[in-house]
C-alpha cells in the first residue's frame, strides 16, 4: 500500500500516448488496487480487462473499477450522468454506482458488475430466430432509454446541431481516409444534401448511447431462449435525434437480413421502412462519430453487391 501511494498516475498530452501506455497494467494496477482498498473493498481477486478505452479492473464478481484519464474526463461525466439518470427507469439491469472519486486528477467510478454473458461471445452462434428475438428486445431497450428525461445529460457537449454540422463538414475527408470506394464517394454530396432535410436538427433531443453493439450488452439463457440481460458502457452518450442509435445494431448485427431488420425496427417502434427512413439511416451511418463502412457493415461482399449508396442502403435495410 505504501508503494502504491508513492506512485502517481501520469499525465498524457494526447489519447494516442495514453492508448500506448494503457496495456502496461503493472504500471497502474497497484494504484487501482490502492483506490479499491481506500473504499474498504476486497482486492484479493482482481481482473484486468484488456479491452475498452479506460483502465478497467474487476474486483471479484461483484464490482468494477473504471479509471478515466483527464483527457477523457468527458467519458466519466457521460457514464456517471447516464447511470444516475437511467437508474430505475429500465426493466433491463444497468450497473449501479457504488462510489466515485479522483486520484491524481484521474476521475474514477466503482460500479456493480452485471450477471450474464458478453453479447459478442454468444451472438455469432445464436440461431436466426433468437437473433431476431434479441434485436427486437434491443429495439425496445433503445426506445425505453429514449423515453427517459435528459436531466443533466442535456448539458453534454457537443449539442446535436453542432455535432451534425461538424460531421457533415468532415464526412468526405473521413471516408476518403478510410478507403471508401469511389463509386460510393460519388454519392456523398447528394446524400449530404438530403441529410440536411431528413435529419431533424432542432427536434426535442433524446439520450443517445451511440454503441448498442454486442460488446456492450450481456445476454442470459433461460429454458433455451437467449435474452438481453444487461447494458453497460455509457462513456460516449450524446443527446439528439432518436434514429442515430439504430445504426450500431443495423451495421453489426442485422446483416441485411429482413427478419432481423424488421425485428429491430418494430421493437423500436417503426412499422414502415420507407425510402425516407432508409435514406436518413444511411446518412446517419455515414455521419456517425465512429463511421467506417468498410469495417462495420457485416454483410459479406457488400462492396461488390452495390453500385452506389442507394443500393447500399437497400442492402442494409431491405424491404
The domain segmentation of the chain, as residue ranges, is 2-112, 117-316
97 touches 109 (CB < 8 A): yes
Host H or E run for residue 99: strand 97-103
Classify domain 2-112 by CATH number.
3.30.200.20
Which of the 8 DSSP states describes residue 11?
A: P
253-277 per-position pLDDT tens digit: 999 999 999 999 999 999 999 999 9
Pairwise CA distance, residues 166 & 161, whole Å: 9
Classify domain 117-316 by CATH number.
3.90.1200.10
Residue 208 backbone phi and psi in degrees, to 5 = -115, 115
55-98 per-position pLDDT tens digit: 999 999 999 999 999 999 999 999 999 999 999 999 999 999 99
The residue ranges of the chain whose pLDDT is under 70 are: 1-6
Supply the pLDDT for residue 24: 87
Name the region of 253 (left: φ>0; alpha: ψ -120 to 50; beta: rest). alpha
Supply the pLDDT for residue 5: 56
Distances (CA, A) of 314 to 7, 43, 135, 284: 55, 51, 19, 15
256 touches 316 (CB < 8 A): yes
Q: Is the pTM of this model over 0.95?
A: no
Supply the pLDDT for residue 2: 45
Amino acid at each position: 500500500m505504501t508503494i502504491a501511494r508513492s506512485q502517481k498516475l501520469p499525465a498524457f498530452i494526447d489519447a494516442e500516448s495514453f492508448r500506448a501506455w494503457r496495456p502496461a497494467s503493472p504500471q497502474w494496477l497497484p494504484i487501482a488496487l490502492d483506490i479499491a482498498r481506500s473504499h474498504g473493498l476486497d482486492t484479493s481477486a482482481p481482473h484486468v480487462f484488456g479491452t475498452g478505452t479506460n483502465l478497467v479492473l474487476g474486483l471479484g464478481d461483484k464490482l468494477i473499477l473504471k479509471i478515466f484519464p483527464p483527457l477523457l474526463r468527458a467519458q466519466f461525466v457521460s457514464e456517471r450522468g447516464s447511470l444516475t439518470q437511467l437508474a430505475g427507469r429500465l426493466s433491463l439491469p444497468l450497473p449501479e454506482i457504488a462510489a466515485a472519486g479522483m486520484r491524481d486528477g484521474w476521475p474514477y467510478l466503482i460500479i456493480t458488475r452485471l450477471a450474464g454473458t458478453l453479447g459478442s461471445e454468444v451472438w455469432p452462434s445464436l440461431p436466426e430466430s433468437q437473433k431476431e428475438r434479441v434485436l427486437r428486445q434491443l429495439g425496445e431497450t433503445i426506445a425505453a432509454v429514449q423515453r427517459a428525461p435528459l436531466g443533466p445529460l442535456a448539458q453534454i457537449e457537443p449539442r446535436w446541431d453542432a455535432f451534425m454540422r461538424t460531421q457533415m463538414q468532415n464526412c468526405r475527408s473521413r471516408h476518403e481516409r478510410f478507403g471508401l470506394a469511389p463509386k460510393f464517394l460519388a454519392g456523398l454530396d447528394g446524400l449530404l444534401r438530403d441529410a440536411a432535410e431528413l435529419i431533424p436538427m432542432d427536434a426535442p433531443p433524446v439520450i443517445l448511447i451511440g454503441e448498442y453493439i454486442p460488446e456492450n450488452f450481456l445476454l442470459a439463457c433461460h429454458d433455451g431462449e437467449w435474452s438481453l440481460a444487461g447494458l453497460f458502457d455509457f462513456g460516449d452518450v450524446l443527446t439528439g435525434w432518436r434514429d442515430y442509435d439504430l445504426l450500431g445494431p443495423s451495421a453489426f448485427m442485422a446483416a441485411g437480413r429482413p427478419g432481423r431488420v424488421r425485428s429491430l425496427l418494430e421493437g423500436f417502434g417503426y412499422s414502415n421502412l420507407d425510402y425516407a427512413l432508409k435514406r436518413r439511416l444511411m446518412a446517419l451511418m455515414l455521419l456517425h462519430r465512429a463511421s467506417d463502412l468498410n469495417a462495420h457493415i457485416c454483410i459479406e461482399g457488400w462492396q461488390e453487391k452495390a453500385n452506389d449508396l442507394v443500393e447500399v442502403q437497400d442492402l442494409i435495410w431491405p424491404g
